[in-house]
């Protein structure tokens, strides 16, 4: 079956599809931030669900299958039939790279910049290394996979920066506008600000630890397109490595008519993947994005895509991946695994970092890390901005996974959005009643800073803010001797460990702004029966042996 050779319309169709997918992706990121008391749509995880690398790595690291991720088989089927069309038509990060490449200055002279390089094998090595790590339970796919990478970058850096720029610049213009004459700058800026406030941002601006670093890495990845078109897709992307492996013998194949081809090199110059469309019998379906640039730019009409029988031998080039390269990638994955597991957190010598407060519904630490993509979806959905990217508290293996920082925000008592938007169920979607009873930590007083405990002054803020129906913070009248010798009876707060869920609202609301007098740590968390304080009446003190990070 021979398809009619398109010219520019097929390129425009592909660009339209890329643009729609990018806008849809960004729209789903924006839709994940809708405030407390809402229900998340299953569509919010659409792009993660169709990502076969997320599906494969999650299965290998946990030996379980998430039903939503079965949609990734659609991408697998499309790749076997049509080649790497996901990279050229669907991937939102690929669309960002295509836009950046459009601004790149075109090379002069011979088209060496677009020729295939042996370094394009690197992405297959990265893919193999990450899969080897996943086999041993290290789920670092989310650091390199283009979909979690883009989601994390947009959530923690791009959107907060954009919201800051719009809001603060509009505020500056509003305050500085001299209001002289009939024209005012605010007549132009205020409608723009109101549009973004009501239809784009909608809620208060978020801010994230490590957001600057994550954003700089993202812009570095985009800037690499000025060295080579689609640099990330060509050399690094592990999803491209997986899809390239599946696309070795697609049914849709590029044909080059030797009777009309003049070997002018135009197709090579416009190929963003260096797939060698000009070399008959050596076209690389493992690299081709199916963008149709080569077909549209051929002046002789020599190139066309044709469907062929799967049983017919493909006259194409192959992945130049030697056993030595594959072995090196495997050894590299094992070496990286060993490097991750020598950290104190991984070896259980430091099993309970006090600041590592996971969201409610988070699985036991080992299984949590075997699933978490570090995508930032839970951080985006959190209505109080409490969830922040982890630096190294959980070891290198837990880089950019979520934790609760009570001084920034708190876990809302009536919210379970983080579990609803998690694409791999690293955070379980707990019913709201169960979530309210789940303990993620325990509040403790620093009596040297607490006003009633140490300064003899009334303060009921923490008790008033405690959201638990039967207050976890209770007040006990005590006599306090003041400096002048007088005695004053005041109410002194204490924490009931049986009732405290560690939501952090008390720490967030404490009048001590520099370092709260009441602070929440991960002690007493429901998910870990060994991380229990030795307190009379404390629940869950089962003790027992076992891995505090695993099952």
Q: What is the pLDDT of residues 204-237, one digit of tens each?
A: 889 999 999 999 999 999 999 998 899 999 999 9
Same domain, 210 and 80: yes
Instruction: Give me the helices (H) in 298-431, please.
Output: 323-341, 365-371, 377-381, 417-421
Handedness of CA 139, 521, 377, 191 (dihedral sign): negative
N-term to C-term CA, the chain: 55
Is 491 among the domain residues?
Answer: yes
pLDDT at 333: 84
pLDDT at 36: 53
Same domain, 285 and 371: no
Element (H, E) at 82: helix 72-82
Residue scoring higher pLDDT (313 or 129): 129
Is 474 among the domain residues?
Answer: yes
Is 504 among the domain residues?
Answer: yes
The 8-class DSSP code of residue 281 comes to T
Same domain, 453 and 330: no
Same domain, 312 and 384: no
pLDDT at 267: 86
Q: Which of 300-304, 313-317, 346-350 shows the lowest per-residue confidence on average (mean pLDDT)?
A: 346-350
Same domain, 3 and 104: yes
pLDDT digits (tens, 9 = 90+) for 9-35: 888 899 999 999 999 999 999 988 765
Same domain, 141 and 274: yes
pLDDT digits (tens, 9 = 90+) for 94-115: 999 999 988 876 655 444 446 7
Are 273 and 116 a contacting pair, CB within 8 Å? no
Is 536 among the domain residues?
Answer: no
Is 545 among the domain residues?
Answer: no
Q: How many domains does the chain have?
A: 2
pLDDT at 348: 62
- In this prediction, residue 1 has a pLDDT band, given cuts at 50, 70 and 90, of very low
Would you say residue 370 has pLDDT above 50? yes
Residue with tokens 């306090």: 480
**Mean of pLDDT values over 461-489:** 92
Structure token pair of residue 11: 């390129």
Same domain, 326 and 406: no
Is 352 among the domain residues?
Answer: no
pTM of the entire structure? 0.91
Would you say residue 190 has pLDDT above 90? no
Which residues form the domain of 72? 1-34+42-341
Same domain, 176 and 291: yes
Same domain, 370 and 335: no
Would you say residue 551 has pLDDT above 60? no
- In this prediction, residue 277 has a pLDDT band, given cuts at 50, 70 and 90, of confident
Same domain, 59 and 141: yes
What residues contact residue 362 under an 8 Å CB cut-off, 6+ apart? 368, 426, 427, 428, 440, 527
Same domain, 336 and 372: no
pLDDT at 146: 96
**Mean of pLDDT values over 74-80:** 95
């Amino acid at each position: 079956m021979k398809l009619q050779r398109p010219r520019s319309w097929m390129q425009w169709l592909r660009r339209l599809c890329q643009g729609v997918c990018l806008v849809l992706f960004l729209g789903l990121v924006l839709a994940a931030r809708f405030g407390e008391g809402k229900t998340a749509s299953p569509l919010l995880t659409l792009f993660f669900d169709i990502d076969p690398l997320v599906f494969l790595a999650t299965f290998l690291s946990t030996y379980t299958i998430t039903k939503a991720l079965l949609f990734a088989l659609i991408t697998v089927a499309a790749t076997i039939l049509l080649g790497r069309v996901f990279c050229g038509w669907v991937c939102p990060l690929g669309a960002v790279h295509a836009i950046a490449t459009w601004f790149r200055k075109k090379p002069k002279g011979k088209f060496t910049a677009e020729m295939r390089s042996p370094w394009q094998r690197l992405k297959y090595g990265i893919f193999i290394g990450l899969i080897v790590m996943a086999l041993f339970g290290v789920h670092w796919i989310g650091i390199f996979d283009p979909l979690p990478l883009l989601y994390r970058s947009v959530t923690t850096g791009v959107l907060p920066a954009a919201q800051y720029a719009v809001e603060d610049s509009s505020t500056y213009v509003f305050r500085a506008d001299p209001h002289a004459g009939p024209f005012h700058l605010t007549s132009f800026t205020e409608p723009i600000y109101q549009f973004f406030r009501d239809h784009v941002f909608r809620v208060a601006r978020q801010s994230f630890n490590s957001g600057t670093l994550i954003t700089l890495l993202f812009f570095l990845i985009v800037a690499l397109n000025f060295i080579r078109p689609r640099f990330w897709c060509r050399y690094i992307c592990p999803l491209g490595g997986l899809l390239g492996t599946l696309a070795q013998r697609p049914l849709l194949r590029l044909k080059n008519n030797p009777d009309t081809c003049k070997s002018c090199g135009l197709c090579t110059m416009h190929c963003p993947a260096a797939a060698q469309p000009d070399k008959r019998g050596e076209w690389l379906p493992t690299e081709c994005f199916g963008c149709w640039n080569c077909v549209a730019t051929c002046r002789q009409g020599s190139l066309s895509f044709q469907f062929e029988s799967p049983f017919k031998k493909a006259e194409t080039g192959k992945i130049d991946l030697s056993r030595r390269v594959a072995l090196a990638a495997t050894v590299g994955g094992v070496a990286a695994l060993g490097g991750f597991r020598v950290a104190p957190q991984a070896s259980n010598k430091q099993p309970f970092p006090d600041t590592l407060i996971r969201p409610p519904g988070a699985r036991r630490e080992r299984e949590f890390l075997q699933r978490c993509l570090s995508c930032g979806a839970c951080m985006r959905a959190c209505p109080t901005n409490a969830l922040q990217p982890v630096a190294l508290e959980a070891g290198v293996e837990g880089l950019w996974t979520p934790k609760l920082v009570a001084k920034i925000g708190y876990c809302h008592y009536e919210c379970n959005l983080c579990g609803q938007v998690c694409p791999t169920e690293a955070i379980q979607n707990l019913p709201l009643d169960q979530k309210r009873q789940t303990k993620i930590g325990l509040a403790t007083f620093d009596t040297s800073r607490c006003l009633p405990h140490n300064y003899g002054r009334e303060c009921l803020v923490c008790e008033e803010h405690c959201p638990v129906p039967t207050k976890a913070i209770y007040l006990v009248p005590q006599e306090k001797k003041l400096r002048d010798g007088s005695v004053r009876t005041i109410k002194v707060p204490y924490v009931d460990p049986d009732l405290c869920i560690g939501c952090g609202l008390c720490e967030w609301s404490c009048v001590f702004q520099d370092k709260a007098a009441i602070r929440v740590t991960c002690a007493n968390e429901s998910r870990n029966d060994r991380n229990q304080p030795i307190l009379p009446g404390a629940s869950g003190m089962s003790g027992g042996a076992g891995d505090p990070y695993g099952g």
